[in-house]
Structure 1
């Protein structure tokens, strides 16, 4: 911690360590060092903006945040400064359509599959128990292959999953909702198909059968146009603010914090 607690100043005026420590509550981080750095950066940015608002004689106005709460005077002055000094282009139709074409995968509804499931719980660390679970799963698969209607009965009798109460029915499963081995096996099955091999995961060994499958569809541009415009303009504004802060920092001696310009899709 001592290594990161170097002197932080803007225009020769030090930001007190106590103020940085107090600001840290607004910047949850994995380590105290990271929290300290992020807090120092936030206070330097705030000081740069307020000093510029002083230089331009920008007064506090009656501004509110997204929830309608009136901003504190310093926050209102910063908002007024950015509104006056940071200009960004609007995302026109052509720009929005180009982004849609280039990132069409972002605007697709996920494929969902109904799943039936029998879990033979065992820890992978317990080699003997895990081997028994694999054997039990293979036995269950053979029985279901011979009599498909047995799935629900076997789930109620054998499964360690709470879905046993519904005969092993897990309902609709989408991407990211289950552990990876389960998901890969389920989505590789055709509608109504039983996985012919036990599926291993950290929870144990699974018997899986796919139910009704609904393929994902790409949403039309009209349905996501406003979301794209909002994203592009927000990203553009963030980059413009970053550039503006770099300009302010270049005019002022800043110790202890470095500024980096990030890319955005609209501002050149």
Structure 2
């Protein structure tokens, strides 16, 4: 291990094992050519964890793990940190006027999910099979070229589809976000009403030629239906701010080497 690149992380005399940092680094994103960023994020996260656990023990707190799901409990360290934050932080209740002011900033951003009326033609293949994938792509391109952008002929062309929807002219009906595979939805979001994808779209099922028949935009939701969600978001934001402030307070009186608590 290169000591200059990966120095020991010591928090108030407690050394965090390099193996623990290496394991934690798997949970942090970084550009492929900059793995050191993931390491620094991991070192920072474990330094903060050490600070909180040291303070919890200094206060004499005793872990009382909660059951997070049937048969799954907090670790003792997680329980200690939770107990510490519950004791140390005081979060003022969110006021009604705060919730309403947050909603009033832009009511239009709170909408129900849109609905898309969609048709498609599928040329099925296993994308992992290079030969089959390329053959299916060539077939899909041929079908698309035959359409020449003519949406009216889509239903007829859909008779060549490998999807059961070919019996309905390729019509899938109305779908919403998350109802289909990500590649299909991404292509769909880029289409105008009546538009057809300019090239076949590959998914785990094969190549799709997609037509967006119509869009029903999501409706602006009324304040009363949103109030609990907005209040919860404001409470979480306040909790996060208070937690950061508490960690900064602990760090100001701590001796930390090998890790920075500044934003990465």
TM-score normalised per structure 2: 0.72
Structure 2: distance between partners of 1:17 and 1:209: 53
- The separation in 2 between residues aligned to 1:180 and 1:73, in whole angstroms, is 42
1: CA distance, partners of 2:85 / 2:95: 22
Aligned residue in 2 for 1:168: 170
Superposed displacement of residue 5, structure 1: 1.1
**2:148 alignment partner in structure 1:** 138
Contact 1:58/1:77 (8 A) holds in 2: no
CA distance in 2, matches of 1:50, 1:181: 47
* Aligned CA distance change for structure 1 residues 40 and 161 (closer, same or farther; 3 Å): same
Query: Which of the numbers 45, 50, 59 marks the counterpart of 1:47?
Result: 50
Aligned residue for 1:172, secondary structure, equals strand
The whole-number CA distance in structure 2 between the counterparts of 1:249 and 1:46 is: 11
Distance 1:117 1:245 in 2: 53
CA distance in 2, matches of 1:63, 1:114: 48
Matched residue SS, 1:200: coil
Task: Write out per-residue CA displacement over residues 98-131 of structure 1, whole angstroms, 9 at most, x where no aligned residue.
Answer: 111224344211221222234689x99xxx9898
- 173 and 72 in structure 1: CA distance in 2 versus 1, 3 angstrom threshold: closer
Superposition RMSD on alpha carbons, in Å? 3.8
Aligned counterparts, 1:11-90, within 5 A: 11-24=12-25, 27=27, 29=29, 33-55=36-58, 57-67=59-69, 71-90=74-93
Cα gap change, 1:16 to 1:71, in 2 (>3 Å): same
Distance 2:161 2:23 in 1: 52
2:112/2:218 contact within 8 Å kept: yes
1:113 aligned partner? 116
Residue of structure 1 in register with 2:235 after alignment:
233
Q: Which has the larger radius of gyration?
A: 1
- Is the CA contact 1:119–1:205 (under 8 Å) kept in the aligned structure 2? yes
Unaligned runs of 5+ in 1: 146-150, 263-268
Name the count of aligned residue pairs: 243
TM-score, normalisation: structure 1: 0.71
Contact 1:96 1:228 in 2 (8 A): yes
How far residue 63 of structure 1 moved from its aligned partner, in angstroms, is 4.5
